[in-house]
Chain A
Amino acid sequence: MGAKVRAVLATVAGAVLLAGCGTAPHPFEPVFGPGAGPLVTRPGWEFGYLFGLIKNRSDTTLTIDSVSLRGPGVGTVITLPDVRIAPVGAESISQANYVTDPPITNIPSGCHKQLLEPVAGYQLRPGAGVRIWVVVRARKPGRWNIPRQVIIYTVDGGTYRHVNPVRYWGTVKTAARVSGVVVAGDYQPAACVKAESSRYLNYYHAPR
């Protein structure tokens, strides 16, 4: 029992020490750890991700300098041919995987396209939110993992780093079972792809 008593006392002491450590306030709304995976695909194929949320809860406009998506297999197993800012607002669509670039959707009110902006220099106003649009292109067999989004931003003359716990992962296999047919009645029909000046990602296509 003596050892257990000491253990409890040590825990109490530890809690007191932790309570004394402050954390610097940061301007982004915290998110739970969302992710999407595993993607199982073949070399040459592409896939789009529109997930996560970066929301400015401060009263100052931030400038996003870069978004870093690094991890095992990035650059070797896969490449990221398109990484852009997707503002959440009047010209946004729901979070999902998309097989067109820009991502588009077809709902009863018609075709809708997600507005995409370059990452560098994007101005994130107070209260505004964005998602990151990421196109993954499979390059060679293997595993890959992007455990987080790292956002470098500038505010009031200082440059800071924000780690957003949004993750993506997958496997590239030569013999992976994938279908490129975007079925009729789906959310990304050929008519919308054309009307919205979008394109299917490799090797997705309308039924022939």
Chain B
Amino acid sequence: MEEKDRTVHTGIKENGSYHRWVWAQYYFTYYLVCICGDRSTLTYHQWQPDHFQGTVADYNPNVPKGRKHPVGHLAFKQPRYNKGPNGAWAVRIFANSVPWVRDNGTRQENEVGIGFSLGSLPHGISGGSISLEDLTTYGSITSVTWTYRKGCRRGDVRVVWGRHDDPVNASRVMSSCVPRGQG
């Protein structure tokens, strides 16, 4: 949606299991697009993101009228941890490790359906031919840092891992405390 580096302090602090979408709020502008020619003219309306509004949150603020749940909510069930051959699918974070970061790179896209798109439009605008991209993208504009913290059970180790993939190119990266033998 936007190809520009930004750094925003979200203030999001979580302990324990945490799997949430992070929402960046944008101001959208409704355009009338006219492709005007001498013999024929094509006009249509289109919503476009205009500018970032400075807020990132881990709750979906778009709860449409008459509904209880935010549109576009996607549940995520964390797969079972597997360190892979010789630990190839994990990065271990020791007490003396420096923070490990993963950012930008290629994209992970999720089809979330037309309901997601329509529900993301500003209040009062719905249906018809208006739609945004019905894909969500993450990874391309995010940067996440994992820093060692105490709190794992004695004998456990902190790992950052991908599902059947190396964390440097896994589409999703997760973190866990796992028994030392599995780390």
| Residue in B29, B35, B105, B183 whose beta carbon sits within 8 Å of that of A32 in the complex | B105
Cross-chain contact of A34 among B102, B139, B159 (Cβ < 8 A): B102
Contacts of A91 in B (CB 8 A): 86
Q: Which of B78-113 contact A (CB under 8 A)?
A: 83, 85-88, 90-106
Q: Decide: A32 near B96, CB < 8 A? Known: A53-B168, A94-B90.
A: no
Interchain CB contact under 8 A, A187 and B94: yes
Q: How far is the CA of A150 from the CA of B168 in the complex (A)?
A: 17
Q: Among A30, A53, A92, A94, which residue has the most Cβ atoms of chain B within 10 A? A: A94
A38 to B88, CA, bound (A): 24
CA of A148 to CA of B159, assembled, Å: 24
Nearest A residue to B179, CB-CB: A108
Nearest B residue (CB) for A181:
B96
B167 interfacial contact with A, CB 8 Å: yes
Which B residues contact A (CB, under 8 angstroms)? 29, 31-35, 46, 48, 83, 85-88, 90-106, 139, 143, 157, 159, 166-169, 180-181, 183
Per the 8 Å Cβ criterion, residues 1-23 of A in contact with B are 1, 4-5, 8-9
By Cβ-Cβ distance, the 7 closest A-B pairs, closest first, are A32-B105, A94-B87, A96-B92, A108-B181, A35-B101, A97-B97, A95-B91
Q: Assuming A8-B48, A36-B101, is B92 touching A95 (CB within 8 A)?
A: yes
The answer to whether A37 touches B32 (Cβ under 8 A) is: no
CB distance A5 to B106 under 8 Å? no
Contact yes or no, A32 B87, CB < 8 A: no
Residue of B nearest to A39 (CB): B98
Asked if A8 and B33 make an inter-chain contact with CB atoms under 8 angstroms apart, the answer reads yes
Complex CA distance for A88 and B94, rounded to whole angstroms: 20
From A4, A97, A167, B94 is in contact (CB under 8 Å) with A97
A97 touches B104 (CB 8 A): no
Residues of A within 8 A of B (CB): 1, 4-5, 8-9, 29-39, 47, 51-53, 88-97, 99, 107-109, 129, 165-167, 170, 179, 182-183, 186-187
Chosen A-B contacts, 20 in total, with CB atoms closer than 8 Å, are A4-B29, A8-B46, A31-B105, A31-B166, A32-B102, A32-B103, A32-B168, A33-B103, A33-B105, A34-B102, A36-B97, A51-B168, A52-B168, A94-B86, A94-B183, A95-B166, A95-B168, A96-B94, A99-B96, A170-B98
Q: What are the residues of chain A within 8 A of B106 when measuring CB–CB?
A: 30, 32
- Chain A residue nearest in CB terms to B169: A31
Q: Are B93 and A38 in contact (CB under 8 A)?
A: no
B169 touches A93 (CB 8 A): no
**B99 to A37, Cβ gap below 8 A?**
yes
Are A29 and B88 interface neighbours, CB within 8 A?
Answer: no
Contact B99 A107 (CB under 8 A): no
Name the B residues within 8 Å of A4 (CB-CB). 29, 31
Chain A residue at minimal CB-CB distance from B35: A9
Contact B168 A107 (CB under 8 A): no
For A31, list chain B residues within 8 Å (CB): 105, 166, 168-169
Query: In the complex, which of the residues A32, A99, A170, A187 contacts B139, with contact meaning CB atoms closer than 8 Å?
Result: A32
In the complex, chain B residues whose CB is within 8 Å of the CB of A179 = 96
Which A-chain residue is minimally distant from B50 (CB atoms)?
A4
Q: Which B residues are CB-close (under 8 A) to A52?
A: 168
